Structure 1
């Protein structure tokens, strides 16, 4: 029976943490024993505890945290781990340090960001380290971006994120408006993403300004992060206080998402965009920027609408078109629903399992 140790040093709950949770849950169904090494007292630890997933609490004090390296080695020995799967940059480094320290378990690395690998010795070394057997990219764009720094291209593979296709099946589409006291006649345009620079909420707000006078609507921002004060200040500058709702981090996304009339996804950098997949599965049409791996999900005017990064005028035009052109809206929702079926968490886990098998068979 295969035994996998997943490592993540992340402190927040974002798309990568949801993907790790889906992966562990799906592997459990096929009798793969998974353990998560997670940062103590943070979101992923709480999730594992609540959902009864095997986990170990680790300090993850930094990229050179030898105490955590020692803990990883100890877990591998005591739990007879077959493969270490690193889901974050720091955990990747610590897995490599453990290998250099004698823990010769094969390493798999997940890469979720669409910017190049840093041009320094450590980054080059850890990505090309002989113990790293596979690098899983969540989009072909990431594959293309990192390829120049990887000496053996056969190590790189693309496995798209997977979602729970049934997540919103029993949701009440009126829940959102009831929860946030939004009038029935108002359209709701929203985004669900961390308040981080690469999500480009300033373009979201500029787009909102262009839409706000055209029809009765409200704008919903779901997420938390370091840009909150800047975003709130920009809302005041644009005089959108009565239009924009800052909802913060929510645990009821499966209830909120189906109530959106349009998902407006304005990232300037994006590995793939699993929120887009969730929206497609929930029959919510998407207007997005053509950043990173997003065009691998959205075919313009077929499964969604794509605009150039930071092009608020084009984004606003497409949102208004989806809200006023019933035939286009209906067509995009239907096509997106069909498209998203190939992005299930079951498919993601099956392809990841194939990677594990390939590595162990090659030993």
Structure 2
């Protein structure tokens, strides 16, 4: 079979990482499946794909609904005899529907990778319930539950956890955090990896630093945040400066192979207000770095509170701070969390498992389309 993966996202994030992992895994385990990625020309994802062995085709996307992109999508399907289109974001759904109106395209599968509720608008509901979409692959049970409110045919909804790629793990970095920022050995590094988008709520990350450094007067912690800067970034920097935290909090921006830095973190701190399941948590579990996180989206499905990590409600910087202290002061608890988290990850949340479950969906959809 030949699968066309459509991404209308120009940046690089967890969703694009999922496409890369899925295509890479299937190339190893099922080389009879041909995967082609159709992406935005000159975007970060396009640049990333250039360094891989994944087949890809890039096209311009100047505006959200660019008819050139839709036309190119239709041509690709015909030229490459595409059997199934795997859509990976909401803009790509719209573009695929437009193309399907003018050209008869093969069946669609859509991956819903966030826990955002689907808006109850006529056009939005039409898009998500489009007849060509045969299955909707949800990143978590939480995402599936949210989607049920808008999807008419609940049998289309399936949960397939994305997982982590065990073959690509490394702790090699171009610099060491402690050396670069002159962090003394007695200080614990609290790390976060997330692009600067609303869902990640990095204001809470700053709130925790403020509480520990300024309110608790505890300077034995250093905060490192890695992720692509956006229009929100300057406000974060301004807050850090206003709170006199510039010597205690560093925002590195986009950093290649960011997850390789996780072994240098003493604690991984996730402060999201909305999530699917972040790769950052999977990677922390692999590298045996304890996780303190908000309990949003699918996170409670992989981090069980007080079993393999600690969870609290979103925006609760006070409890997040208490949990950081709790892990910092109890080495036995830290050991328990990281060992149990690693075991959970290996048993359940790998890209090998994800790829095989996704392939099974592909096969079922194609079989049904022939009947």
Normalized against structure 1, the TM-score is what?
Answer: 0.96
Is contact 1:63-1:93 (8 Å) kept? no
Matched residue, 1:47: 48
Query: Shift of residue 102 of structure 1?
Result: 2.7
Aligned partners of 1:255, 1:154: CA distance in 2, in Å? Answer: 39
Matched residue, 1:220: 224
Moved over 6 A (4+): none
Matched residue, 1:300: 305
Matched residue, 1:16: 15
Query: Shift of residue 168 of structure 1?
Result: 4.0
Is contact 2:275-2:299 (8 Å) kept? yes
CA deviations on 1:178-233 (whole Å, 9 max, x unpaired) are 34332222110010001112211111111112222335121001012221101101
Query: Shift of residue 175 of structure 1?
Result: 3.3
Matches within 5 A, 1:169-248: 171=172, 175-212=176-213, 213-224=217-228, 225-248=230-253
Aligned: 1:343 with 2:355: no
Distance 1:10 1:272, change over 3 A: same
Query: Shift of residue 271 of structure 1?
Result: 1.2
Query: Shift of residue 97 of structure 1?
Result: 1.8
Matched residue, 2:118: 117
Is contact 2:138-2:158 (8 Å) kept? yes
Is contact 1:222-1:248 (8 Å) kept? yes
Identify which of 254, 275, 278 aligns with 2:280: 275
Is contact 1:26-1:346 (8 Å) kept? yes
Greater mean alpha carbon deviation, residues 12-21 or residues 44-53: 44-53
- Unpaired runs of at least 5, structure 1: none
Aligned partners of 2:304, 2:231: CA distance in 1, in Å? Answer: 32
Is contact 1:176-1:255 (8 Å) kept? no
Is contact 1:171-1:254 (8 Å) kept? no
Is contact 1:167-1:254 (8 Å) kept? no
Matched residue, 1:360: 366
Aligned partners of 1:59, 1:209: CA distance in 2, in Å? Answer: 43
SS of the residue corresponding to residue 149 of structure 1 reads: coil
Is contact 1:171-1:258 (8 Å) kept? no
Aligned partners of 2:242, 2:201: CA distance in 1, in Å? Answer: 17
Q: How many residues align?
A: 362
Matched residue, 2:270: 265
Matched residue, 2:81: 80
Greater mean alpha carbon deviation, residues 133-142 or residues 94-103: 94-103
SS of the residue corresponding to residue 104 of structure 2 reads: coil
CA deviations on 1:42-87 (whole Å, 9 max, x unpaired) are 1111111111321111123445322221111110011010011111
Aligned partners of 1:208, 1:64: CA distance in 2, in Å? Answer: 41
Is contact 2:46-2:58 (8 Å) kept? yes
- Unpaired runs of at least 5, structure 2: none
Aligned partners of 1:96, 1:115: CA distance in 2, in Å? Answer: 21
Backbone CA RMSD of aligned residues: 1.7
Aligned partners of 1:215, 1:181: CA distance in 2, in Å? Answer: 14
Normalized against structure 2, the TM-score is what?
Answer: 0.94
Distance 1:326 1:201, change over 3 A: same
Query: Shift of residue 129 of structure 1?
Result: 1.2
Matched residue, 2:66: 65
Query: Shift of residue 117 of structure 1?
Result: 1.1
SS of the residue corresponding to residue 264 of structure 1 reads: strand
